[in-house]
Amino acid sequence: MSGPSRLSTRDLERLSAYLDGQLAPGEAAGMEARLQDDSALRETLEGLRQTKAALRSLPSLRPPRSFTLTPQMVGIRPRRPAYPALRLATAIATVAFMIVTGLDVLTQGLSRFALGAAAPAPAAEQVMLGAAPELEGTAVEESPPLERSVAGETPTTLPALQAFAEDAQAATPTSPVGYGGGMPSQETQAGTPDGIGGGGPLPTPAPGVGYPPLETPTATPTPTPTPTPTRTPTPTPTPQPVAAEPQVPADGGVSGLGPIQWVELLLGAAVVTFAVFSLWFRRES
Amino acid sequence: MDEAALILEAQRGDLDSFNRLVLAYQTQVYNLAYRIFGDANSAADAAQEAFLAAYRGLKAFRGGSFRSWLLRIVTNICYDELRRRKRRPAASLEAILESEVDLEDDGAGLRTSGPLRPEAAMEQAELSKAIQDCLNRLPDDFRVVVILADVQGYDYAEISAVAALPLGTVKSRLARARLRLRDCLQRFRELLPAAFRLEDEAAP
């Protein structure tokens, strides 16, 4: 049957499906038979075929960018920033700990030199002893100046000592971080006039007896929170400990902590906490 | 890792796995959107939105063809945007102006293998522009179906899944879209390669 030039919708659909090979075998055979007879049908089929070919010729375009999603886009709170933040907090707490400890040492030195056998010094020593009893000998070091001050040779030495102590204090800010490295020399400076004034046996450096240097904990991000070493190694005159020894345990225990020691304790604890968390987050991420 | 494993990982919230799926399908998703809109910016926005929606709705994917599921998402996003533009003709005009510009360099992103002769490249670009122009004139429903079938080359079953249409509707829309495109392309017949030329009587 030769159809009219204008195709019915049904025929158009069949022709289109035939073009795509989507007619059932029986229907396809029927369509082929009709195409033999119907030139208009053939013409339409050809038009559709060419249209399809033209559309297929459209190039596949490269996307202008990648559409991969970022954690921000999907609202996932990124975990990684926790690590740098904690690392920074550890560093800040460490530096603060070092500065406070340094100030503590300086003020102790000051008070010891200026006020003689005032309470703070033994209290601090007590803390040191309580935290690290094996350093008992080192606590002893602190007494010689006291002893000497008590002996109070001449009042004229005091201003000189204060001046030295102030010098030392003024020197600290220049190297707060490198405190461990810088301080011993300052201590020695302060100690020298003391030795001269006291006329006693000039302290000879005894490295073996010295405190575990403060720098050890501060150099690593996980310093121990114990405020044990509040002083750097000072020259230890061996004969004097005996006299000084009784003073140390005489004072109170932890209750004897001054405000600055509390700050040291808290800062030390903060350093350890931050360091532990930062290590944990680093492993997590 | 195969697709099913990646989907499973992505469903558990693994963004890296999902992004591997994105990389695998982004060209198809982008090209479908590009042919629906006829402009690169709208297509990129739709593709991005589609992948975001897919990630968020991944738990709702219950097997079957992941590609169909993705293409359906991007198709719906395109429909929504087209409807929005009809409500706001200003945005529509802007898109048309953008598309004019984009169509100019349609040939620039060709993935054809090997360098084309300059004239051939120009002809290809002109032809692409003409075809896209004809596609843009189709009703949205027709356009999506004919793009899926003839530009992307999917079979009827997949088109039915992507466009959420019964098979019969797919067939009828495709036939009518092809007929309209044939008539539209007559105007550009000098651009068509000999093999496509509509007046050629190369019938069997």
Question: pLDDT, tens digit, for every residue of A20-42?
Answer: 999 999 999 999 999 999 999 99
Interface residue of B134, B183, B196, B201 to substitute, partner A, most A CBs within 10 Å:
B196
Bigger pLDDT: B119 or B21? B21
- Residue B167 touches partner A, C-beta closer than 8 Å: no
Tens of pLDDT, residue by residue over A14-24, are 999 999 999 99
CA pseudo-torsion sign A158, A163, A164, A165: positive
The closest alpha carbon to A105, from A184, A35, A41, A174, belongs to: A184
Q: What is the pLDDT of residue A154?
A: 45
| Closest chain A C-alpha to B27 CA, distance in angstroms | 6
* Contact assignment for B111 to A9 by CB distance below 8 Å: no
- Whether pLDDT at B45 is above 70: yes
User: A8: distance to nearest CA of chain B, Å?
Assistant: 11
**Which pLDDT does position B107 carry in this prediction?**
44
In the A/B pair of chains, how many CB contacts fall below 8 A?
144
pLDDT at B87: 87
* Nearest-Cα residue of chain A relative to residue B182: A51
Is the pLDDT score of B94 beyond 80? no
Cβ–Cβ < 8 Å for A109, A116: no
Question: Which of residues 66 through 95 in chain B touch A, CB cutoff 8 A?
Answer: none
Give the mean model confidence (pLDDT) for residues A141-157: 45
Higher pLDDT, B52 or A114: B52
Give the gap in angstroms from C-alpha B89 to the nearest C-alpha of chain A: 26
Q: What is the pLDDT of residues B123-155, one digit of tens each?
A: 888 889 999 999 999 999 999 999 999 999 999
Query: Taking all residues of chain A, what is their mean pLDDT, rounded to a whole number?
Result: 66
A147 versus B6: which is more confidently predicted?
B6
Among B15, B29, B40, whose Cβ lies nearest the Cβ of A71? B15
Give the model's pLDDT for residue B118. 80
Q: Which residues of B touch A39 (CB under 8 A)?
A: 203
* A-proximal residues of B, 4-63, CB under 8 Å: 13, 15, 18-19, 22-23, 26-27, 29-31, 34-35, 40, 44, 47-48, 51-52, 55-56
Average pLDDT, integer, range B9-26: 95
B203 pLDDT more than 60 = no
pTM flag (> 0.80): no
* Beta strand segments in A99-148, E: none
The pLDDT score that the predictor gives to residue A29 is 94
Cα B93 to Cα B87: distance, rounded to the nearest angstrom: 12
Q: How close A68 comes to chain B (CA, Å)? A: 5
Long-range contacts of A254-258 (CB under 8 A, 24+ apart): A254/A127, A254/A130, A256/A123, A256/A126, A256/A127, A257/A123, A257/A127, A258/A120, A258/A123, A258/A124
Model confidence pLDDT, tens digit, residues A220-239: 444 444 444 445 445 544 44
Q: For A69, which of B15, B106, B155 is closest by C-beta distance?
A: B15
- Residues of A whose CB is below 8 A from B35: 58
Contacts 24+ apart (CB under 8 A), A165-172: A165/A106, A165/A109, A165/A110, A165/A113, A165/A114, A165/A190, A166/A110, A168/A106, A168/A109, A169/A106, A169/A110, A172/A102, A172/A103, A172/A106
Q: What is the pLDDT of residue B34?
A: 97
Nearest chain A Cα distance for residue B83, angstroms: 24
The secondary structure element, H or E, covering residue A50 is helix A39-56
- In B, minimum Cα distance to A42 occurs at B203
Task: Determine whether the interchain pair B156/A22 forms a contact, defined as Cβ–Cβ distance below 8 Å.
Answer: yes
Show the tokens assigned to A261. Answer: 């020691």
Flag whether pLDDT at A194 surpasses 50: no
Give the Cα-Cα-Cα angle B111, B112, B116 (nearest 5 degrees): 130
Across B150-161, average pLDDT? 95
Q: Within the 19-58 window of chain A, which residues sit less than 8 Å (CB to CB) from chain B?
A: 20, 22, 39, 42-48, 50-58
How far is residue B187's CA from residue A35's CA, in Å, rounded to a whole number?
27
Residue B3: CB partners within 8 Å, gap ≥ 6? B21, B24, B66
Asked if residue A97 has pLDDT above 80, the reply is yes
Nearest chain B Cα distance for residue A16, angstroms:
5
Q: What is the mean pLDDT of residues A45-67?
A: 94
Which chain A residue's Cα is nearest to B199?
Answer: A47
Please report residues of B whose CB lies closer than 8 A to that of A60: 27, 31, 111
Distance between B88 CA and the closest CA of chain A, angstroms = 27
DSSP helix/strand/coil, A153: coil
Confirm or reject contact between A72 and chain B (CB < 8 A): no
CA nearest A38 in B: which residue? B203
Q: What is the pLDDT of residue B19?
A: 96
pLDDT band at B199 (very low <50, low <70, confident <90, very high): low
- Residues of chain A neighbouring B170 (CB-CB closer than 8 A): none
